[in-house]
Structure 1
Amino acid sequence: MKLFITAFVFVMCAFQSAAASFNDDFIKVGAISTRIADVNGLKLQGTNLEGRKQFGHWFGLMQWSQQADSLSETAFYDATVDESDYINEPFKLTFDFNRYSVGLGRYVSLSEQTQLDFSALYGKMVFKLSLNEFAERNQTNTLNLNIQLRHFITAQIELNAGLSYERFSDDFADNSLVYRLGAEYYFAQSWSLSVYFRNVGSASFSSEALSVSANNDKEDYYRDLALMLGYRF
């Protein structure tokens, strides 16, 4: 009985010790899902990893994600000049999407509960596609300029929102404005659970394979939804 009471008090103290604190020394790992408007039915699932290390008012950061999905459809097209015959051809599209970046940032403390982050990240974005016998691999260097507002609404719950400009080094995709919304729950002294939504507007990917399943009726974008487990050290 005494052992149970001791363990209970320890757990309660650990949970109550999670208070409003902008500790930028952390690593997070979790699941990420991405939807690309250019392609019907494609929903990329995978793993997401993030880390930050603080140096005074400066911090270093890294991000990495690896995702994949595939879809199968049948293409209908006219095979004759007089339009009297049609061919049904099945095809399978496989899409691998990898991203990684490193960067540097600086924060400004507005109050004990509110902080403003400025950061710049340089990285690479790679996607690989296969369409039946056809294969394609594209990559581009990326530059992200970010501003993010973080605010504790309680001692354990943080809300954050950010705006970014995402620039690509070539015609891989259009340069885009990005917005991000997120929340983080600090359920113990060193542990947290976070979720974020990220929307990249006007992101029309240049790809011959993607054009087979292109959805031209929708606005171009890709959207991320991630759920992360974080450890602060």
Structure 2
Amino acid sequence: MKYIFSGIAVSILSFSSFANTLNFNHVEVGYLQTDFDISGFVEPKGFNLVASKQFENWYITGSYANQQDEMRETFTYGDYSETFTVDFDFSRYSFGGGYIYPINESTTLDFSAQLGQFKVKSSYNDMGSDSDTTDTFFTHAQIRHLLSDQFEVNALVGYERLHDDESENNFVYRVGAQYYFTNQFSVGLSYKDADEFNDIGISARYSF
């Protein structure tokens, strides 16, 4: 019996005392909610996929997100009423690369540039649909820091350009945290503000 308890103790100790290092080799899937800077507008919710691959001090990264929401409004004309529904489908993707500057064993600084698209599809009471696509360009500087082997904090500042009929330049910042169960498996929480909208994300990550 004492050998069983000894084995359990060794397993727990090795689980909680692993040596973590920051890297950019990972894939993650998560939940994403967006709040637009328009009073009474939709707050789409959906999933987010992110992948990153490191090559020495360089890395490439890509992401894809899909979210849905709807708006309903009922109009009454005497004894008759009718409800109009607009279904929104939001999708966005980005792809780019960056350079990693290690500050020390627990802190890195990286710089990245990404191109992408943001697409909105609207469907009206099953009577028709419309879509709008916006090209995006995003560049940022990010700092990641390990407070311990199991807990990472990170922050990002950058610039985002939305290129459509009314092109806009937005200042972007993001803050987040990552909790590592092991070197490979972790969960994260993030908040991003891009002036026109903000994102709240929860994700599960596998690092390799």
**Which TM-score applies when normalising by structure 2?**
0.89
How far apart, CA to CA, are the structure 2 residues paired with 1:38 and 1:200? 13
Q: Does 1:108 align with 2:101?
A: yes
Is the CA contact 1:139–1:172 (under 8 Å) kept in the aligned structure 2?
no
How far apart, CA to CA, are the structure 1 residues paired with 2:7 and 2:74? 64
Q: Greater relative contact order: 1 or 2 (C-alpha under 8 angstroms, separation 6 or more)?
A: 1
CA shift, 1:156, in A, is 1.8
Provide the secondary structure at the position in 2 that maps to 1:63.
strand
How far apart, CA to CA, are the structure 1 residues paired with 2:10 and 2:47? 35
1:125 to 118, 127, 148: 118
Q: Does 1:226 align with 2:191?
A: no
Aligned to 1:157: 151
The 3 A distance-change label for structure 1 pair 37 and 173 is: farther
**RMSD after superposition:** 2.2
CA shift, 1:38, in A, is 2.1
Aligned to 1:215: none
State the 4+ residue runs in structure 1 displaced beyond 3 angstroms: 1-5
Is the CA contact 2:20–2:183 (under 8 Å) kept in the aligned structure 1?
no
| Residues 3-44 of structure 1: per-residue CA shift (max 9 Å, x gap) | 464245224313321x34111111111111111122515221
- Percent identity for Structure 1 against Structure 2: 33
Matches within 5 A, 1:30-179: 30-38=30-38, 40=40, 42-74=42-74, 90-132=83-125, 133-171=127-165, 174-179=168-173
Report the number of matched residues: 205
**Which amino acid counterpart does residue 56 of structure 1 have in structure 2?**
E
How far apart, CA to CA, are the structure 1 residues paired with 2:35 and 2:9? 43
| Residues 138-193 of structure 1: per-residue CA shift (max 9 Å, x gap) | 11221111111111222321111111211123226633111101111112121111
Uncovered stretches (5+) of structure 1, i.e. residues with no partner: 80-84, 202-220
**Which amino acid counterpart does residue 14 of structure 1 have in structure 2?**
F
**Which amino acid counterpart does residue 63 of structure 1 have in structure 2?**
S
Segment drifting more, 127-136 vs 144-153: 127-136
- Flag the structure with higher strand content: 2
